[in-house]
Amino acid sequence: MTVATDRPVTEAPAAAGGAGAGTGAGTTGGSPVAVALTRPRRRRRALRHAGLVLALVTLALILVAILFPGALTSGSPTATNLDEPLRSPSWSHWFGTDESGRDLYARVVHGARDSLLIGGGAAAVAIGLALLLGSLAALGHRWVAGATNRLIEVVFAFPTLLAALLLVAVLGPSAWTQVFAVGIGSSPGYARIVRGQVLAAKGSGYVEAAVELGHPRRRILLRHVMPNAVRPLVAIFALAVGQMIVWASSLSFLGLGVAPPSSEWGALLDAGRPYVTRASWLIIAPGLVIVVLALATTTVGKHLRNLLERGSA
């Protein structure tokens, strides 16, 4: 279809059937079809921008809760009030109170530090193991690479939560057990990503050129292969933190995490489980916080990934 463009702009209202259509076409400098196609694109861009801003605001609030919890609440997470057990959310208690009269909002705010330390520690363990295993699988000798690939496949066959449960059963429930159990259980998936990135960098044109120029193997690995393979892990780490918090909270919900009276979010879910029919806010409030944080870290991680891919293109 061909759209005539040699008609003066002043005739556009009559041709299009109204002053509004002529103004739109004249100001954009393109056809009405092109204008109609760009509007959904602009909406999607605006929605992505708004989502990123909300995610950054959420992470900023979580950071304040970790570093300066007193700035968000003046209540104590351990102060009991036996006169106000299981009070529903109100202006005096935003998230309600638990069976001992403790303010649930104060406990959620103070529990951000433990939850983020566990999630961030598990993500660091997972990425660290992924770097080691993925590099051995891609760069090791034939028998080393083969054995590492088989190990990754065997561990990857286990669901993450099942592998974490097995490790907790062996080591016993604690915060450190959560960190290592969730990190080790999640590492095979990231190891496969690292292996693919290393192989892609190893077979790239600039590495082949460096080999032809006679550069030492160690220099090629340190200056060309590993930096290009590790760069995407920045975004993957941001994505992993939210996922690790969800897995760690699942362990705590099953009673295999931090022991009471900790205010870690998964422990709050476990503590509110017996009262789910009488005081549902004990489950809803910390559960929503976990979901919102996971969405925020996922949004920021995807944005970082897009920036890195655009920069490497």
Assigned domain for 47 exists: no
pLDDT band for position 25 (cuts 50, 70, 90): very low
- Class of residue 80 by CB neighbours under 10 A (exposed 0-12, middle 13-18, buried 19+): middle
d(CA 235, CA 304): 5
Task: Kindly report the backbone phi and psi dihedral angles of residue 103, in degrees, each rounded to the nearest multiple of 5, phi listed first.
Answer: -70, 120
Assigned domain for 36 exists: no
Assigned domain for 58 exists: no
Contact 104, 268 (CB under 8 A): yes
Assigned domain for 88 exists: no
Q: Which of 300, 293, 299 is nearest to 58 (CA)?
A: 293
Assigned domain for 35 exists: no
pLDDT at 38: 73
Percent of the chain with pLDDT over 70: 87
39-83 pLDDT, tens digit per residue, is 777 777 787 788 889 999 999 999 999 999 999 998 888 888 888
pLDDT at 8: 45
Domain that holds residue 183: 67-76+93-312
Assigned domain for 103 exists: yes
Higher-confidence residue of 49 and 95: namely 95
Q: What is the pTM of this model?
A: 0.77
Asked if the bond preceding 261 is cis, omega within 30° of 0, the reply is yes
User: Total domain count for the chain?
Assistant: 1
Q: Which of 260, 269, 250, 283 is nearest to 178 (CA)?
A: 250
d(CA 206, CA 162): 42
pLDDT at 311: 59
Assigned domain for 40 exists: no
pLDDT at 176: 87
Assigned domain for 56 exists: no
CA 173 to chain centroid? 25
pLDDT at 33: 56
CATH number of the domain within which 288 lies: 1.10.3720.10
Higher-confidence residue of 2 and 97: namely 97
- In DSSP notation, 83-149 reads TSTTPPP-SSSTT-B-TT--BHHHHHHHHHHHHHHHHHHHHHHHHHHHHHHHHHHHHS-HHHHHHHH
Bridge partners (DSSP) listed for residue 103: 97
Question: Which of these ranges, 4-8, 243-247, 269-273, has the smallest mean pLDDT?
Answer: 4-8
